[in-house]
Each structure stands twice: as structure tokens, then as C-alpha cells.
Amino acid sequence: MGAGVGAARRRRGTAAGLFGTALLVAGTVLTSGGAYAQPAPTPGGHSTARAGGDQGDRDDQGRDDQGGQGEHDGRKGDQDRDKDKGRPRPGASPTRRAEPPAPGGGDPTAARPAPAAAAVLATAQTGPEAALPTTQGLQQALAAALADRNLGTVTLAVADAAGGQLLYGSGENTAATPASTTKLATCVAALSLVPGDTRLTTRVVKGTTPGSITLVGGGDPTLTALPADQVQIGGQPTDPDTAPASLDALARQTAAALKAAGTTTVTLDYDVSLYSGNPLHKFHDDDTNIAPVVPLMVDEGRVDPKSREEAPKRVADPAASAAEAFTGLLRAQGVTVEGRAKPAAAPAAADAPLLGRVDSPTIARLVERLLTTSDNQLAEAVARRAALAAHQPASFEGAAAAVTQELSKLGVPMAGVTLNDGSGLHTGNGIPPAVLVRLLALAASDQHPALRPVLTGLPVAGFTGTLAKRYGSASGAADAAGLIRAKTGSLSGVNTLAGTVVDADGRLLVFAVMTRSPALADSTRAAMDRIAARLATCGCH
């Protein structure tokens, strides 16, 4: 690390805490509203999180931003395509692992010092150690990076996290295809509408006829049929805050309740009335990493819940598959289930006698998970939860309307914004860079502490989630590793990056870079990373 960068990081270390709470980029994060513990990198090592090249070469083959595989990584789209293990459990020391050459060549496994705690404490305070960058300073600092031809058509916005003041922009009010940065809009709206401690409940109730029971989907795609010791997120075991609900636990509760009532033979219905509309995403196909969006599924609808494939095969009917799995688990508990499970003729009554229930992690934790891993399935579920809270239909259209409506209420300028889904797979989505930075500034605001998981869920440059394998030693952006947290986005010919960066004076900035380019996706991403890195290494006065 150069002396100038080292001095800049020392200046950052004098900065006060972020918005009255400690937001530690590379360690256990945030206290306001709960925290998802990011792994703490060790000196000379990286997190073992699966890497983040949003789409890899799939961009050039037309495979679009296909994030999220629930308990396992291996996403196409906003997740890299290697087979490494996921990130360590909170507090665990990551082990080093070999990485393929980073874009631009070189050895990304070369020792990189982990960012010190003081260096990644962002600040919203002004003063001689946290001066506000100027428009002219930013323009001069970014000129060379923005001239990279790999960016193609590029628009961007840079703003102060404290208050959201726009500091620099180029085409900042022009809508561009956001890809998975759409998830920022989804998550801000959802956390504004839904209390962060809300959990998604899957339950079993007595049916309307003697001996019948109904499995009621509550919109939790992370519900798992795997044994607890086999459940992983990002290749690592879960903890009590992140462990998904267990279908086996639900079967055990149900069997115990039935036996206590003297019943050992039942018929099973399943209720998917919570959602409405077409469950298939407009851009769904056999090679798209998203299942039909229904309120009852296990392991995000994967045929093999342990699959490490880039786009694991999905079942055609996730609800029926979940009911079939539940039938097998009930039988294992000594309950006879007659025939095959069938869709319920009518929604289960709200006051139907309860036989069992299991709950997902909180919405706050689910938001962090879907942003870190760019989980499309989970994003659509969270979007529908927002729709229900806004009294909109729980459909693609209803979710988009709910998000748009709530963002308007939050004061987000919605001119030019077009939303068609919650995940960003839809190529017809449009968001200007200025709107993305506004969303990030809202999440950083003391006035909206409920939105903080939007920041704590952002991948850490060079260490976690979809940024784990970027910002390597030969990338031209290595000095910014650990100082940037950002959501990635990728569709064919489209790459986006939006997040937070601590500048050389310790000022927390929010930024968004949106590109459309025929260049190789890796080359475009590397060019975007150098733009963000330039923000981290200058005071830009």
C-alpha cells in the first residue's frame, strides 16, 4: 500500500461513527435494527465467500443476472461461477483459498492486509478530517477512469451519505437498466413497509373436513427440507439468526399434535392463496435461476437442495413438491397420509386450529442475505411481502406498484423509474443513478434506522458476496478493498454497481455507476471498480 493511501486510511480512522451507530465494513456490522455479522477478514487473507463476478462470461451468452440459490451459492448472474466454499460463520477466521486470475491478470491471492477497524468506520460528520468533496474535484479525479472504453455508455452519480446531497453526476437523471441493483429499491421499500423483526410463517392447520389438514404457505422460499447439520448459506453453516425454517420440524410438531388428539391418519391439502397472478417471471426459462414465485416451496424450488450448479434445476411446481416432501416427513413420524396432497379448494381460515408452525429469519436478515448473495427468489418473496403490507396484490405487478408507491412516500424522485419485478431480472426496468444514490442515502439516514440492513447487506469489496473476487491485486482497484460496499447488477451487455465508499478524508459517500457495453463483462466490471476505487483514494477537493 502506498504511503498516500496509508495516510488516507489513518485520516479515516479519526472519523466519528456512522449516524450514531458503528457500521464496520469488514467485521461484525451494525447495531441499529439488528445485524448480519459479516466475516472478519484476517491479515493477508480473504473471506472464503464464493466470489462475486456478477455474471462471468454468461453475459455474452444471454444469461441474465440470475442470482440466489438460498442455502447454497453457485448463482449465475450476480454470483461467480467457481466452486469455492462460502463465507465463514460470523466471527470465524477465514482460510485462504486459491483464486483464478483477476481480470487484468496478476495473482489475486497475493497477501492483502485486511482493512483495519478504524479505517472502515464511516462518518457522516463534517470537519477538517471529513471535508465534503467538490464537484470539480470529483470530476478531475474520475476523468481518467470514466474514459475507459470498456464502460461503453456510462452514467453515474456520487452523493454525500449524510443528507444525500448530489456532489457529481453524469447522466444521473437518465434511467438505465439497473439489473440486480433493482434489489436496492425492493429492500428499501420492504423495510419501510414491513417491521424488520417480521418473520415469514409456514403453518399447518386442521382442514374443514374430518381428518384433513392443510399446509399453508407463508411466502418463505428459504424453508428447507434438509437436516439442520446440512443447511448452509454461502457454503457455511448457519447461526441462530440466519438458520432457515425446517420442514422436518414442522412435520414433527404436526405429528405430535395429531397424535395428542388421537389422529394418525389424514389427508393433506396445501394452500397457496397468499400470492396472486402469474407465478412465472417474464424472463423465466429452464436456464434461469428462479423458480415459479409461489408462497409455498422448499429450498427455493431446487430439485437438488445441495446443488452447487450455476443454475440448478428447479421443480415445475414448487408448492406440490413441498407438499410431497412434507408428506414423506409426516409418514416418517408415524402419520398415515392417504393419497397425494392436493391444492386446497379454498384459503385456510385465519382461525383454523393450529397444528404446527415454523418461522423464517427476520425480514431484516432476509434482506441482508438477498443483497449479499443477490438472491432473485428471495427478492421476489420480499417484494410480495411489501405488496401485502401496502394492500396490493402479491404479484409481480402488485409488488412493483407497492415499491413505487412507498419510495414516493419516502421522497425518492421517481421520474424515469420503471419497475416490473423485485429482483432485477426484467430488462424493462429503469432507474436513474440519482435514484440509486438516494436509496442508499435513505438507508444511511438517522431518520430511517429501519433501513440500515440495506447497508449491512451490501457485499464488501474483495471480501464477501458478489464482490468477493473483485478488487484483487492486479485489478487497479485493490487499495479500495474493504472500503467499498456495493450491490452488483448484471444482464447481457449491462453492468451496474451502487453502494458506499469511504473517501480519503473519512467521508462516507454513496455512488452508482451504470453501464451498457459490448465489452466482456469482466472488463466492464473492472473498469467500474476502478471508478469506485478512485473515490476511495482521493479527497476530491
Distance, CA of 511 to CA of 499 (rounded, Å): 6
DSSP class per residue in 65-81: -----TTS---SSSS--
Judging by DSSP bridges, how do beta strands 508-516 and 236-237 pair with one another?
A: unpaired
d(CA 71, CA 246): 12
Residues annotated as catalytic are 180, 183, 374
CATH fold of the domain at 199-361: D-tyrosyl-trna(Tyr) Deacylase; Chain: A; (3.50.80)
Average pLDDT over residues 489-503: 97
Strands 484-491 and 494-502: what pairing? Answer: antiparallel
Q: What is the DSSP string of 284-301?
A: --TTSS-----S--SGGG
Give the residue with greater pLDDT, 219 vs 71. 219
**Helix 318-332 × helix 247-260 angle, to 10°:** 50
Burial letters for 191-219: b for 16+ Cβ neighbours within 10 Å, e otherwise?
Answer: bbbbebebbbebbbbbbeeeeebbbbbbb
Task: State pLDDT tens for residues 324-377.
Answer: 999 999 999 999 999 999 999 999 999 999 999 999 999 999 999 999 999 999
Give the residue among 44, 163, 45 at the shortest CA–CA distance from 95: 45
The pLDDT of residue 307: 76
Q: What is the pLDDT of residues 254-305, one digit of tens each?
A: 999 999 999 999 999 999 999 999 999 998 776 667 999 999 999 999 998 8
pLDDT value of position 57: 34
Residue 93 has, within 13 A of its CA and on its CB side, a CA count of: 6
164: confidence class by pLDDT, cuts 50, 70, 90: very high
Q: Residues 510, 159: contact at Cβ < 8 Å?
A: yes
C-alpha span between 387 and 379 (Å, rounded): 12
Cell triple for 95: 482460510
If one compares 215 and 62, the residue with the highest pLDDT of the two is 215
Copy the grid coordinates of residue 197: 423483526
Q: Kindly give, in sequence order, each residue whose CB lies less than 8 Å from that of residue 512, ignoring residues fewer than 6 positions away.
A: 156, 157, 181, 433, 434, 436, 437, 440, 496, 497, 498
Average pLDDT over residues 143-170: 97
Q: What CA–CA distance (Å, rounded) separates 159 from 49? A: 29
Listed ranges 26-35, 95-104, 205-214, 308-317; the one with the highest mean pLDDT: 205-214
> Which residues pair with residue 152 across a beta bridge?
516
Q: What is the mean pLDDT of residues 163-189?
A: 98
Q: Which helix (H) or strand (E) holds 355?
A: strand 354-362
As a whole number, the mean pLDDT across the chain is 81
- For residue 432, what is its C-alpha cell? 436513474
Strands 265-271, 212-216: pairing is parallel
- Written as one string, the DSSP assignment of 83-135 is ----PPPTTPPPPP---PPPTTSS-TTS--PPPPTGGGB-B---STTSPPPPH
Contact 510, 167 (CB under 8 A): no
pLDDT digit string, tens, across residues 37-69: 333 332 223 333 333 333 333 333 334 444 443
With a cut of 50, say whether residue 451 has pLDDT above it. Answer: yes
Burial 56-83 (b: 16+ CB within 10 A, else e): bebbeeebbbbbbbbbbbbbbbbbbbbe
Q: Report pTM.
A: 0.83
Among 88-92, 342-346, 353-357, 378-382, whose mean pLDDT is lowest?
88-92
Q: Report the relative pairing of strands 199-206 and 212-216 from DSSP bridges.
A: antiparallel
Name the residue with higher pLDDT: 273 or 73: 273
What mean pLDDT comes out for the span 130-158? 96
Q: Where would I find the H helices in 101-246?
A: 135-146, 182-193
Instruction: For residues 179 and 497, give the distance between their C-alpha atoms in angstroms, rounded to a whole number.
Output: 10
Q: Compute φ and ψ for 269, nearest 5 degrees.
A: -110, 165
Give the pLDDT score at 66: 44
* C-alpha closest to that of 187 among 419, 531, 495, 32: 419
Break the chain into its structural domains and give their ranges: 3-64+100-176+432-536, 199-361
Q: Which residue has the higher pLDDT, 8 or 337?
A: 337
Q: Is pLDDT of 241 > 70?
A: yes
Residues 6+ apart with CB under 8 A from 475: 102, 103, 104, 106, 108, 526, 529, 530
Report whether 155 contacts 517 (CB < 8 A).
Answer: no
How much of the chain is helix, strand and coil, in % rounded to 5? 30, 15, 50
Q: What is the pLDDT of residue 235?
A: 63
Residue 136: burial class (beta carbons within 10 Å; 0-12, 13-18, 19+)? exposed
- Report whether pLDDT(156) > 50: yes
